[in-house]
Structure 1
């Protein structure tokens, strides 16, 4: 999968959720887009991937449409990273994918991965 398309439901693996929900008056309202990107590093590429992911955090958090951008590493699987992301809407997500910092990351990503990037779309329940 192309990392620049990672958030699109048609290219993602894993669970998908709706982006809209009934509003207080029964009218659909736009919910933020939320998902978790799962990136598993090759053993020799763990540090490089971790550093590159860390470098994405601050500039992404400063994007106008970014609501949440948190990096985690599994404690029982070092080298497996979860990036929890939330954007205001599809336009904000598209703007993120077009930033120089994301494009630079996406261009270097593939050799670091032990398996394809996995994206889990989330639907906020409560």
Structure 2
């Protein structure tokens, strides 16, 4: 199987950016410490206030599935929800 990339676009409510970034830092640390099938997981600010992109790379579909099912993704991710101004937009990519 080939690598899978994910680009997630997250819109954060005005005034919740600092809280969002703090909680996301916890999530990223947990992903990096616990997910051997994940080679990249990082949050980026865009040029637009409150719009963030998460860039992710997984070894294969099983690694992506494990990420989505992980306790840390579910528990810490749930704390991100109240910061968001809508559902995340997820784009999934396959390696060439």
Q: TM-score range by the shorter chain?
A: 0.7 to 0.9
Where do 5+ consecutive residues of structure 1 fail to align?
1-29
Output the TM-score relative to the length of structure 2. Answer: 0.85
Q: Higher helix proportion, which one?
A: 2
Distance apart, 1:97 and its partner CA: 1.8
Where do 5+ consecutive residues of structure 2 fail to align?
none
SS of equivalent to 1:86 = strand
Aligned to 2:74: 103
Larger RCO, structure (CA 8 Å, separation 6 or more) = 2
Larger radius of gyration: 1
Which one of the candidate residues 57, 65, 71 is aligned to 1:94? 65
| Number of positions where the alignment pairs a residue of Structure 1 with one of Structure 2 | 95
Give CA deviations for 1:88-113 in whole Å, capped at 9, x if unaligned. 11211122122222111232233211
Output the TM-score relative to the length of structure 1. Answer: 0.67
Superposed CA RMSD in Å reads 1.5
